[in-house]
Structure 1
């Protein structure tokens, strides 16, 4: 399956090193191999493979390779300084593609000595738009599949749901056993696993770490660290409440969603909300990475508990207010109220099962699958 970033990366490789980050098994290596097929001479080196690691340490890869792909090099000690030397010393005409996950994304956020030497993309799971463009079929069929299977390529493309379930069980086990150990002490793994299990049942709700900490008999600061690890590993992402004062927003409770909708435990409405969250984040990351836009994903909640699921912003101004419903076509009261407070933001109620789209006052009642089909990625 051709991924949505392929043509953009091909173009950018002609100018600078390209850095691609994303969750484990989201398709980074497959994307690299598809890009290599477009070059007469390409070389792929993975730090996890002993023979490749020796080549990387000696820097003895082919100077005639028109595309050099380096995977998982963030596991090398001192890799940032090392990579700077590789970028500055590579032969003219050699494109360089570097892929990685957690630690590399953390470094990208902080910036480093490679500033100005690379262009970066975040690869996301399959969305309604990407499925329709690559596989065909209707938007409704695509959304149903993503809600059931999640958007990671292997389970999403699997022949049947049993294969998808087997993949997910192994994926989750490996993630906790291997990746989390890199960030945590071994004796914490059981607590981390319990924390993830709790998060699976609290998707879409404001998260009280203090309450969960009491249940698990650990300090809230410990759970905050665990949450940071899970975000760094692209297991979950948080959505902060909208507030012009960013510091104040960070102090309020975030909502947590899973990159893999298949991990969510909840009813059809909760799973729809998580799927929408993943596709909104993909849409915004695409606008940031490919178009340089200053955009954000939030939610709105007042002290009395009135809430709208999502709010999109651009240049610190709200552009969209979004509420997710499985079948309810009556305009959500909070969405109507907030649309009056933010008249420049488009108010949309996304309904999974909808016979007819309509405009109800300031609120647009839209079919979820078709609206998601028109996102940027």
Structure 2
């Protein structure tokens, strides 16, 4: 299956000498995408920290790896060198810096990982100026129908994703294996194993947390509270641990791409909530409640869009929600360069009419667009971003215009 990131990688190295970091959850397709580049490069090398022989080679230092690649020999083209999970190496930053600085313009370096890289860790050697980063997300509607990066944020001509594939995406999630298989038995086994690996293997790779059972319980609490305002205090009370501990554990779950938070937007909003974030899962298929799953599904698409647009250099984008003390709320606000751009309210059904909060907060924020995205209307082949007043929009149309 073609991924938008394949073209991104090729375009990056055609224009830049900097390393490219590709970060995202396990089994989202990073390795498959990188391996698919073999046919694009005359000289291609792949090294995984999880492979014993590759690990031993890396530990010998940049010079040993350069000999294996053959950097002392004149080559017709610059080789692509992929490092997978190298962040598990305690001295990975100095290693990459040494390789990059010692052999300038002699190789393209692509780094992939399934945990967020602490690029600016105190005491570590900075890689500033030596890399660019893309955050790698699972499949989404727009990537399935049109896996091509664009120079503008919005695809102005929506493309239809067939209902059968859309239902598979919603049910089985955006991780390629279960989506492509579209088998309930495979999905159940895959999901169980993935959750097991997350808490039995990956947590131990990045932290010394001993209370794995409590961390699992925190994950389940966050899943139950998807789309709700949540405080560290309430989570700490449920788990009977300190606020500091819950904050630390939540950051661990963030770093392993289990969940993400959406913070409130308060500028120009009278009596706005300013503290409580809402949490969503990277894998919406985990959620059983249809309304919560629909909101999480759209949240993941929006997060992917703001990450991609920012990483692609189109501007600085972020994702928020709005709620005031009168309990008026809009599910999401996308900002561009610090200014409100468009509002999104998610509904399963189109029978309720436009939420009064949409026009209210559009006026308060000055957002250019306001959409009520619904799941029960058929695809419409029209650019919904031409409208400035609040619109009820089919989810298939809206999401096909993102990334």
Q: TM-score, normalised by structure 1?
A: 0.91
1:373 aligns with 2:400: yes
Deviations 1:209-246 (A, max 9, x none): 2122222211122111111111111111100001349x
> What is the match of residue 52 of structure 1?
54
Deviation at 1:273, TM superposition (A): 0.6
Does residue 341 (structure 1) correspond to residue 364 (structure 2)? The answer is yes
Structure 1 residues 220 and 102, CA, compared in 2 at 3 Å: closer, same or farther?
Answer: same
Deviations 1:14-66 (A, max 9, x none): 32211111111111111110112211221111111111111112233312571
Q: Classify the secondary structure of the residue corresponding to 2:42.
A: coil
Per-residue deviation, 1:140: 4.0
Gaps of 5+ in 2: 72-77, 148-158
Gaps of 5+ in 1: none
2-structure distance, mates of 1:369, 1:175: 31
CA RMSD in angstroms comes to 2.6
Measured after TM superposition, the shift of residue 197 of structure 1 is: 1.0
| Residue 278 of structure 1: aligned partner | 300
Contact 1:322 1:348 in 2 (8 A): yes
**Is the contact between residue 48 and residue 85 of structure 2 (CA under 8 Å) also seen in structure 1?**
yes
3-state DSSP class of the match of 1:205?
Answer: coil
Alignment of 1:148-167 (within 5 A): 148-167=171-190
CA distance in 1, matches of 2:257, 2:100: 27
* Alpha carbons of structure 1 residues 352 and 360: separation in structure 2 relative to 1, 3 Å: same
Q: In the alignment, which residue of structure 2 is the partner of 1:40?
A: 42
Deviation at 1:255, TM superposition (A): 0.5
Deviation for aligned residue 1:130: 1.2
2:365 is the alignment partner of 1:364: no
Q: Which whole-Å CA distance do the structure 1 matches of 2:267 and 2:238 have between them?
A: 33
Equivalent positions of 1:140-289 (< 5 A) are 140-244=163-267, 252-266=275-289, 268-289=290-311
Q: Answer with 30-39 or 336-345: which moved more.
A: 336-345
For the 8 Å contact 1:296–1:314, the answer to whether it is kept is yes
1:63 to 58, 70, 77: 70
CA contact (8 A) 1:127 1:279 kept: yes
Q: Which range moved further: 294-303 or 28-37? A: 28-37
Deviation at 1:109, TM superposition (A): 9.2
- Alignment partner of 1:273: what SS? helix
**Partner deviation per Cα, 1:170-211 (whole Å, 9 max, x = no partner):** 001100111112344453100001111111111000112212
Taking the aligned partners of 2:272 and 2:20, their CA distance within structure 1 comes to 33
Q: Within 1, Cα distance between the matches of 2:343 and 2:125? A: 36
Q: How many residues align?
A: 371
Report the alpha carbon displacement of residue 148 of structure 1 after superposing the two structures with TM: 0.5
